[in-house]
Chain A
Amino acid sequence: MKKMAKPRLAVWKFASCDGCQLSLLDCEDELLAVADVVEIANFAEASREIQPGPYNISLVEGSITTPHDAERIHKIRRDSGLLITIGACATSGGIQALRNWKDVNEFFSLVYGSPHFIETLKKSTPISDHVFVDYELRGCPVNKYQLLEVLNAFLNQRKPNIFPHSVCMECKANKTTCIMVAKGIPCMGPVTHSGCGALCQSFNRGSFGCYGPKEATNTNSLGGHFKELGMSGDGVMRIFRNFNASAEPFRKESEAHEK
C-alpha cells in the first residue's frame, strides 16, 4: 500500500501572548507523536521556516486588531482546509478586547514613544468575525490535552471530546467541593465552558471564566447571585469583563452592571 502523504499543519499568530502556542510546545513527548502523523509546515514558536500552503489544518491563535491582520486572516483561510481557532483571543477577542469599551487612540501616547507608527483597529475581534471557522477551542490558555484531542479527533475523523457544559460538571466529577456553596466564594463556573478540569476550584479560587460562556448561559442569574454574596456592582462588572470580555453573554452582563 502506498503511504499517504501526511496532513500539513500550520500554526498562526495574531494579537495574543503566545500562551496557546506554548501549550502546543508544552506537549513535548506528545509533540513528537504529532510530528509523526502530521507535517508541521509552519510553527514560528518551534521553527523559523515557513513552508508555503496549502495546509490541511491551520491552528490560529490571537485576535484581529490591525488592518493588516484583517487582510492576513483571509489569505490563511484560503490556504487552509480546516481552520481551528485556539484560545480566548481567537475565539472571543481576548483580554485586549477591553479596548472595545475605550478610545484606543488615547492609549497610544501613553504607551508608545512614537505613536504615529501605530496602525490599529478600534476593536479587538475574534477570528470568526472575519472568516469562517471550522472549530473553536476555548481557554486562556488552551488546555494542552484538549488541543491534542482536537488534532487527534480531526486526524481520526471523529468528534472531539470537548464539552460545552459548565465547569461545575467537572468540579463534581472530580469530587471538588463547591467553594461557592461551602465558602461563599464567587465562582464563574456555572456560566463557564468546561475544559480546564476545574483547576481553580481545587485551589480554593473561584473560576475566572477563562473558557468563556458555556452553552445556554444564564449570566443574569449568576450576576444577581454574586451581589447576594456581597459583591459590588463594579465587582460583578469586572468578573465578567476579563479574558472573554467581548463574548456576547459576558459582555451583556458586564454592561448591565456598569455605572
Chain B
Amino acid sequence: MLEALQHNGWTIIGPKVQDGVIVLDEIQSVDDFPIGYSDRQGPARYRLTRRANKAVFGYNVGPQSPKAVLHAARKVIWRGKKNDLKSQETAEPLPHIAFVGIRPCELKAILIQDDVLLRGPYGDAFYAARRKNLFFIVVNCGQAGGTCFCASTNSGPKADSGFDLSATELMGNDDHRFLMQAGSRRGEELLASLPARPVTEEDLKESGALFAHAVETMGRTLDTHGLKELLYQQLENPRWQEVAERCLGCGNCTSVCPTCFCSTVEDWTSLDGSEARRERRWDSCFSVDFSYIHGGSIRQTGMSRYRQWMTHKLAAWQDQFGTLGCVGCGRCITWCPVGIDITEEAAAIRSSAQQKEALDGND
C-alpha cells in the first residue's frame, strides 16, 4: 500500500519512534512504523513500552498531531522590499501528503480546524493551500491510552467519516490482518489494488470487541452534558484559583492540542532596513501578551488564563463553531509538565456546582 502511494507521488507521514516517543514523521517503508511498540500515559508522564506481539499500530497518540504539518509552528507569510510593498513571498509547491496511521481523534481535530481556518470571510489562505492534496488513512483504536477520552467527545475510537481509507488492526487467531473501509473514490481505488479478501462475520466481531474494549479501558471520561452552560455559570468558581496555583502557564497544552489554532505575527527587518518579512507563529492564551491590547493585557492572572483555555475548548468553541474544541486525545494531560487534567477540572467544577445547588436547595 505504501509503495502504491509513493508510486503515485504521495509523501507519506506517519508514526515513528524517535527520542523515546512516537512522533509523526516522513515514512519511507513499513519498517519505519513503531512495530511492537506501545506506550503508557498518565498526567505528566509518557513512557514507551514494548508489546508482546508485532502489532504495527498498538499504541496511542504521541506529542505531535497533524497540526504540526497543516498549521505549522512557524511560517513566513509575507516578504517585501522597501518602496515595493507587494508581497514577494512565493508559494512554494507543497508536497502531496498521505497521512498513514493517524487516529480517529486526529482526523476529527483536522475537521474542526477546517471549520476554524477555512470557513467564513477570513479563511486562512496558507492553511487552505496546505489542506489541498491530502490523503488520509486513519487507523482505528483497538486500545485506549491512560489519558484518552475520545468516547466522551464522540471522536473515536472508530472513525466514521472524513477519511479516504480506514483500517482496524486485527491480530486474533494468530492471523495479523487489517479490516479496511473506503471513505472516498480514491480510497476505493487504492483498496482495489491491494491483496484483500471479503470481510467475514468473524472479522467484524473481533473489531467490535476491540472498540468496546477501547471504550471500556479509556483512561479518562468527560461528562459533556450541559457543559457549556455549566462553565458559563461557574466563571467565579474557586476551583479556577486552585488549578491556577498548579498551572505553570507554560503553553505546552495549547501547543500539543490538535485543535488549538491561535497564532501571532512578528515583523522582521534586514539590518539596513531595506527588506522585511512577516512571520506567523503559534501563540497560546497562556502567554500574557496574548490578550494585550493598547495599554496592557486583559488576562492578568494565571487564573484568568487557565479559565480562558478551558472555557474556550469546552464552552465558547460551541458558540463559535458549533462543536466542542476538544477531541479527547489526552495530549494536554500527558504533556502538561505538572499533569493538570482538563477532565478532572471539569468534573470538579461540576461537582462543586452540584454541591452548592444542593446546599442552596436545603435553605
Task: Return A194 CB to nearest CB of chain B, in Å.
Answer: 10
- From A33, A34, A178, A218, contact of B248 by CB (8 A): A218
Give the chain B neighbours of A161 by CB distance below 8 A: 266-268
Closest to B336 in A: A181
A177 engages B251 (CB within 8 Å): no
Question: CB within 8 Å of A: which of B46-98?
Answer: 46-48, 63-64, 68, 73-74
Q: Does A168 contact B (CB under 8 A)?
A: yes
Give the chain B neighbours of A36 by CB distance below 8 A: 271-272
CA distance A189 to B18 in the complex (A): 21
B271 engages A34 (CB within 8 Å): yes
A180 engages B273 (CB within 8 Å): no
CA distance A30 to B236 in the complex (A): 53
CA distance A225 to B157 in the complex (A): 32
Stretch at the interface among B100-108, B205-213, B282-290: B282-290
Q: Does B45 contact A (CB under 8 A)?
A: yes
Give the chain B neighbours of A159 by CB distance below 8 A: 267
Stretch at the interface among B19-27, B137-145, B177-185, B318-326: B19-27
B23 engages A155 (CB within 8 Å): no
Task: Return B116 CB to nearest CB of chain A, in Å.
Answer: 19
- Known A166-B249, A172-B252; judge A177-B63 contact (CB<8 A): yes
Give the chain A neighbours of B64 by CB distance below 8 A: 175
Give the chain B neighbours of A168 by CB distance below 8 A: 250-252, 255, 337
B73 engages A218 (CB within 8 Å): no
Give the chain A neighbours of B347 by CB distance below 8 A: none
B337 engages A190 (CB within 8 Å): yes
- From A149, A156, A221, contact of B338 by CB (8 A): A221
- From B19, B249, B267, contact of A158 by CB (8 A): B267
CA distance A161 to B265 in the complex (A): 10
Task: Return B283 CB to nearest CB of chain A, in Å.
Answer: 8
CA distance A148 to B273 in the complex (A): 13
B269 engages A152 (CB within 8 Å): yes
CA distance A244 to B170 in the complex (A): 55
Summed over the interface, the residue pairs from A and B with CB atoms below 8 Å come to a total of 132
B269 engages A158 (CB within 8 Å): yes
- Chain A interface, >50% SS class: helix
Give the chain A neighbours of B248 by CB distance below 8 A: 166, 190-191, 217-218, 221-222
Task: Return B287 CB to nearest CB of chain A, in Å.
Answer: 5
- From A175, A190, A221, A225, contact of B245 by CB (8 A): A221
A172 engages B256 (CB within 8 Å): yes
Task: Return A244 CB to nearest CB of chain B, in Å.
Answer: 17
B21 engages A177 (CB within 8 Å): yes
Q: Does B247 contact A (CB under 8 A)?
A: yes
What does the 1/0 interface line of A183-202 toward B look like (CB < 8 Å)? 11001011100000000000
Q: Does A173 contact B (CB under 8 A)?
A: yes
A178 engages B335 (CB within 8 Å): yes
A169 engages B337 (CB within 8 Å): no
What does the 1/0 interface line of A212-247 toward B look like (CB < 8 Å)? 001111101110010000000000000000000000
What does the 1/0 interface line of A144-164 toward B look like (CB < 8 Å)? 000011011101101101011
B272 engages A169 (CB within 8 Å): no
- From B249, B266, B272, B334, contact of A33 by CB (8 A): B272
B288 engages A215 (CB within 8 Å): yes
Q: Does B44 contact A (CB under 8 A)?
A: yes
Give the chain A neighbours of B338 by CB distance below 8 A: 190, 221-222, 225
Task: Return A89 CB to nearest CB of chain B, in Å.
Answer: 26
- From B21, B246, B251, B270, contact of A165 by CB (8 A): B251
A183 engages B287 (CB within 8 Å): no
Task: Return B110 CB to nearest CB of chain A, in Å.
Answer: 18
Give the chain A neighbours of B20 by CB distance below 8 A: 177, 182-183
Task: Return A59 CB to nearest CB of chain B, in Å.
Answer: 16
Q: Does B350 contact A (CB under 8 A)?
A: no
Closest to B268 in A: A161
Closest to B41 in A: A181
Give the chain A neighbours of B19 by CB distance below 8 A: 176-177, 182
Q: Does A37 contact B (CB under 8 A)?
A: yes
Closest to A165 in B: B287
Q: Does B239 contact A (CB under 8 A)?
A: no
CA distance A214 to B287 in the complex (A): 10
- From A155, A182, A215, A222, contact of B47 by CB (8 A): A182
Give the chain A neighbours of B245 by CB distance below 8 A: 218, 220-221
A173 engages B73 (CB within 8 Å): yes
Other A-B contacts than A181-B337, A184-B45, 13 sampled, CB-CB below 8 A, are A159-B267, A164-B289, A166-B251, A169-B255, A169-B284, A169-B287, A175-B23, A177-B20, A177-B21, A180-B44, A182-B48, A189-B250, A216-B302
17 CB < 8 A contacts A-B = A152-B271, A155-B273, A156-B273, A161-B268, A164-B289, A165-B287, A168-B250, A173-B281, A177-B19, A177-B23, A178-B335, A182-B21, A187-B337, A189-B337, A217-B249, A218-B249, A225-B44
7 tightest Cβ-Cβ pairs between the two chains A and B:
A172-B255, A173-B73, A190-B250, A190-B248, A177-B19, A166-B250, A168-B250
